[in-house]
A and B are shown apart, each in its own frame.
Chain A
């Protein structure tokens, strides 16, 4: 009896772990295998080649396995491409990049951060997702290691920490911008919100959206929630929306749930306009999802893989060649992070033999003063204020013929 119970439990645990891994390999298509080997090969490779004191040790944590791994892997790959490019181009400022897996869990993120600290990380890319980001940013602050996070968008990440900066806009700002955009462009008469109430990201955007919608006299006819455990069936929420007569669905959620909502709405014969935020980015690459269903979906995202400028084109090409998929905004944000750090380090005159604390002090001074031209900003460039918040404007995109097109 004991033996069978033991086997059963071990089996259950390993199956659940494998299921976690399986989920990500499903959504990120065939690239997981190659990415795993490429990622680890490149990081160990650069580990051994990098002599101490000639490169800046750059570390970050993100979900490289598990349900949220598409974000972590994208950020890791984007940052790696930037680091490789900088190495190819040569110059004084060189980076050694190391990403550690945090499985989108705050406790594991602390472990991952500590692993990086032992490794001798001088500058941090923070964490990819919000909740782990809140945990590691406090440690960044206490250890005086400068952090620029590509995508941990919760305001709590940078709150009262002088050395933590964000590359993405914060959750409330997205809610604000979405409400303004919908109101300005008259996209819908009756708005219905479907949000995930056990998620920091979704709750943050939704709260601000509702507040701003009231101020703008936007008619929000109702909202419905779901949780991680119940994100497989949305017929109830969609029926509610339909009965409320909503002609615009606002979805401040990630693309995986959104893809299901779109499929199920289509099956019900319900066809409202859909407005998403940056978590919607990635919907076109979901396995088994018919991109035709996403036709006409509007979303706010800082990055457009179809942009015609040279930098974006080069980045997308490289990413596709190495990893076999179109980069999303997480990859672009991480890519920008590395270049922004490079620019700041050049401005501050830092050298790789400096201690993390000295680099931190200099970067805190320099960061609010620089203007950075990256993939995710518009023509005006990206700037930061001294609280660590970024100033750049989200781009409104609409999906047409299976591609993002700028919405003006």
Chain B
């Protein structure tokens, strides 16, 4: 306990965040293994999407919270990861029989492609000063959605077949249609598992914390806080912003693959502007630059609409009201100072007892 107290604040935060995720995982996983009926069908079905949303929210927090840029197209990166990763997973069905390995390969593939797109977008946009990234990523998300809706991709023994706008693929016997235009992807096997989701969240946390608490991370934050001052001491703002943005895009791609491989079927329209905003809401509600807050917000806000099913037709209305109330409460200075006073008093009380 003393070591926890004497730790550097950033190390303590990251340590506690890892601990929180591990504890949550252990509790849920032991319930699933030992308790009859597990965590219930509803939560069971949501576990992998929750992991995916946590990952993509953490990734977005790297852009919005740490590097201070606004991205409105993270669902687009998720979409690339989901479609390309799932296509990869289906294509490898026969050659790589071990499902976890296949998932890992697909995730890396999805992450690399999404990272590549992030890089391409970053080259022109991150050189600019202002809100241009928000505008460009917004357009990017829409473009990706429209393009993927018109892509037909199939594989048979002769190799890949691709056509655009109308389905002209002539698949031989035993061929698989990987992406079917507006009909999206139909997974024959759902290879994502909760354990894989947990591992992805942990990897994301490790990547994010190590980046933030490194020399590069301090440069990124310096560029966020005062671009001119950062440039004056020789920090290449574009380079460091690019580092944060590409990492974020790649992680979002991996989250997309995890999500895609957990669903029976999904379409490109799933990853629309609303999804991007939803992820941004997770980040803002969890706190800009606050990773453990993002984890909690992403998990809670994914479960909430299902928990509100009792309200029947009014549940989304209740959801919105809850959201607004939480935002008001967490941003209210009176409540905040009251909370910190309460914590201080508790600490003081504890200290007194110990003496």
Binding site for B on A (CB under 8 A): 2-3, 5-7, 9-14, 16-18, 20-21, 32, 36, 39-40, 64-65, 100-101, 105-108, 110-111, 113-115, 117-118, 131, 134-135, 138-139, 154, 156, 197-200, 202-204, 207, 227-229
Contact = CB atoms under 8 A, between A and B. Distances in A.
Shortest Cβ-Cβ A-B pairs, 6 listed: A14-B320, A114-B41, A36-B313, A40-B312, A135-B264, A138-B264
Query: Chain B contact residues: over half helix, strand or loop, or mixed?
Result: helix
B189 to A, nearest CB: 11
Contacts of B45: 110-111, 113-114
A65 B315 CA distance: 10
B183 A9 contact: no
B313 A114 contact: no
Given A106-B270, A156-B265, A200-B183, 6 more contacts: A13-B281, A17-B317, A18-B317, A114-B42, A114-B45, A198-B268
B13 interface: no
Nearest to A111: B306
Interface stretch (B99-107, B215-223, B323-331): B323-331
Name the residue among B150, B264, B306 with the largest chain A CB count within 10 angstroms. B264
B293 interface: no
B44 interface: yes
Interface string B264-275: 111111100010
A105 B184 CA distance: 13
Contacts of B248: none
Contacts of A139: 264
B278 interface: yes
Given A6-B331, A17-B319, A118 B42 contact: yes
A154 B265 CA distance: 13
B79 to A, nearest CB: 13
B307 to A, nearest CB: 10
Name the residue among A5, A36, A107 with the largest chain B CB count within 10 angstroms. A107
Name the residue among B42, B281, B314, B315 with the largest chain A CB count within 10 angstroms. B42
A7 B331 CA distance: 10
Contacts of A107: 49, 263, 266, 270
B96 to A, nearest CB: 23
B40 interface: yes
Contacts of A39: 312-313
B41 A101 contact: no
A106 B263 contact: yes
A117 B38 CA distance: 14
B65 to A, nearest CB: 10
Contacts of B309: 100-101, 115
Given A7-B327, A227-B146, A118 B313 contact: no
Contact of B314 (A36, A111, A115, A229): A36
Nearest to A11: B324
Contacts of A117: 41
Contact of B274 (A16, A131, A135, A156): A16
29 contacts: A3-B331, A6-B285, A10-B320, A10-B323, A17-B317, A17-B320, A32-B313, A36-B314, A101-B315, A106-B267, A106-B270, A107-B263, A110-B263, A111-B45, A114-B41, A114-B42, A134-B186, A154-B183, A156-B265, A197-B149, A197-B150, A197-B182, A198-B268, A198-B269, A200-B182, A200-B267, A203-B183, A204-B183, A227-B146
Contact of B277 (A13, A36, A199): A13
Contacts of A101: 309, 312-313, 315
Nearest to A43: B312
B320 A156 contact: no
A134 B319 contact: no
B323 A14 contact: yes
A21 B312 CA distance: 13
B312 A198 contact: no
A2 B288 contact: yes
B263 A135 contact: yes
Given A118-B42, A197-B150, A198-B149, A156 B323 contact: no
A154 B180 CA distance: 13
A5 B269 contact: no
A120 to B, nearest CB: 11
A101 B284 CA distance: 27
A3 to B, nearest CB: 5
B196 interface: no
Contacts of A13: 277-278, 281, 320, 323
B225 interface: no
Contacts of A115: 41-42, 306, 309
Nearest to B289: A2
A72 to B, nearest CB: 11
Given A100-B309, A107-B49, A114-B42, A228 B320 contact: no
Contacts of A16: 274, 277
A9 B149 contact: no
A101 B305 CA distance: 11
A36 B149 contact: no
Given A111-B306, A198-B149, A199-B182, A228 B263 contact: no
Given A6-B331, A115-B309, A135-B264, A65 B183 contact: no
Nearest to A230: B146
B53 to A, nearest CB: 11
Nearest to B333: A3
B186 to A, nearest CB: 6
Contacts of B186: 134, 156
Contact of A6 (B266, B320, B321, B327): B327
Contacts of A198: 149, 182, 267-269
B304 to A, nearest CB: 12
Nearest to A223: B166
B182 A111 contact: no
B160 interface: no
B46 A111 contact: yes
B316 interface: yes
Contacts of A207: 167
B76 interface: no
B151 to A, nearest CB: 12
Contacts of A138: 264-265
Contacts of A203: 181-183
B66 interface: no
A115 B306 CA distance: 8
